[in-house]
Amino acid sequence: MNGIRGWKGLKGVAWLGLVLAVALLGWNIIAGGGAMASPAEGSRMLTVTGQGSVSVENSIALIRLGVVIQGETAQSVQQQVAERSERLVNRLKELQVGALQTTGISLYPQYDYRDGQPRLTGVQGQNSLQFEVPVARAGQVLDEAVAAGATQVESVSFRADEATLLEARSRALTQAVKDAQRQAQDVLGALNLSIRSVERIQIQSDGYMIPPPIPFARADYARLETASTPVEGGQQTVRAQVTLEIRY
């Protein structure tokens, strides 16, 4: 009997301990209700994407031109192309153009396909060059290049220098961040909420919008020998896009 009473006593103590533990847990839940709710509140996130763009003046012209010769034999055509190209390259070096390089060399026969039968009419040879020059000097250099032997101006495109592009990119990113912050403040302010912290920053895209090359027709470069060629570099736009994940 004493053993049974002892067992029942231990069992009662165990139940009492369980009741006290449950009561204590309930009290912690009631007393600390705000603390338990805070993870849910802290997990509230707002994602906003800001845009920024800066226009800059183009200061560098990328010019592509060539020497095109037509003749009766491959040897004579190649010789003429080589002589003109050498004069042209030497003159461009004297003018101190930048990034001068050969972009293409070709020599191919020309045929007349009248009456369905190919008939060899001659040979055409071409040597193409590419270089960079400040926009302010582009017109003069084009005129000098034609005078030195260039027979074809293929295209002219423009860009800003690297230092200007880097500075514009920095400004565009700053604009994008401010735009994203402004959006977040407008939305949360309308809901009587406030920004707690920025949890993540992502630069989604940024780049330089470069104007496409301007092609020159044969009639255009034929006039370069008698008139000073005006060249306007225009502008290009540097864009940036930034996404912020904001805790509120």
Rounded distance between C-alpha atoms, residue 239 and residue 50, angstroms: 11
DSSP 58: -
Say which amino acid occupies 167.
E
pLDDT of residue 34: 32
Q: pLDDT per residue over 120-153, tens digit each?
A: 889 999 999 999 999 999 999 999 999 999 999 9
Residue found under tokens 């255009």 = 220
- Per-residue pLDDT band at 113 (split at 50, 70, 90): confident
Buried residues in 138-155 as b, exposed as e (16+ CB within 10 A): bbebbbbbbebbbbbbbe
Rounded distance between C-alpha atoms, residue 230 and residue 237, angstroms: 23
Average pLDDT of the chain, as a whole number: 81
Judge whether residue 154 has pLDDT over 70: yes
Q: pLDDT per residue over 52-99, tens digit each?
A: 999 999 999 999 999 999 999 999 999 999 999 999 999 999 999 999
Q: What is the mean pLDDT of residues 178-189?
A: 96
Judge whether residue 206 has pLDDT over 90: no
Using left for φ > 0, alpha for ψ between -120 and 50, and beta otherwise, residue 99 falls in left
Residue found under tokens 């306007």 = 232
198-201, long-range: CB within 8 Å, 24+ apart, which pairs?
Answer: 198/244, 198/245, 198/246, 198/247, 199/45, 199/245, 199/246, 199/247, 200/244, 200/245, 201/177, 201/242, 201/243, 201/244, 201/245
pLDDT of residue 208: 58
**Residues in CB range of 9: below 8 A, 6 or more apart:** none
* CB 93 within 8 Å of CB 116: no
Q: What are the backbone angles phi and psi of residue 204, rounded to the nearest 5°?
A: -80, -40
Dihedral angle over CA of 22, 24, 26, 31, nearest 10? -170
- Per-residue pLDDT band at 21 (split at 50, 70, 90): very low
Q: Which of 46-50, 64-68, 91-95, 222-226 has the lowest mean pLDDT?
A: 222-226
- Per-residue pLDDT band at 119 (split at 50, 70, 90): confident
pLDDT of residue 126: 95
Judge whether residue 100 has pLDDT over 80: yes
Q: pTM surpassing 0.85?
A: no
Q: 159 to each of 101, 204, 211, how far by Cα in Å?
A: 18, 23, 8
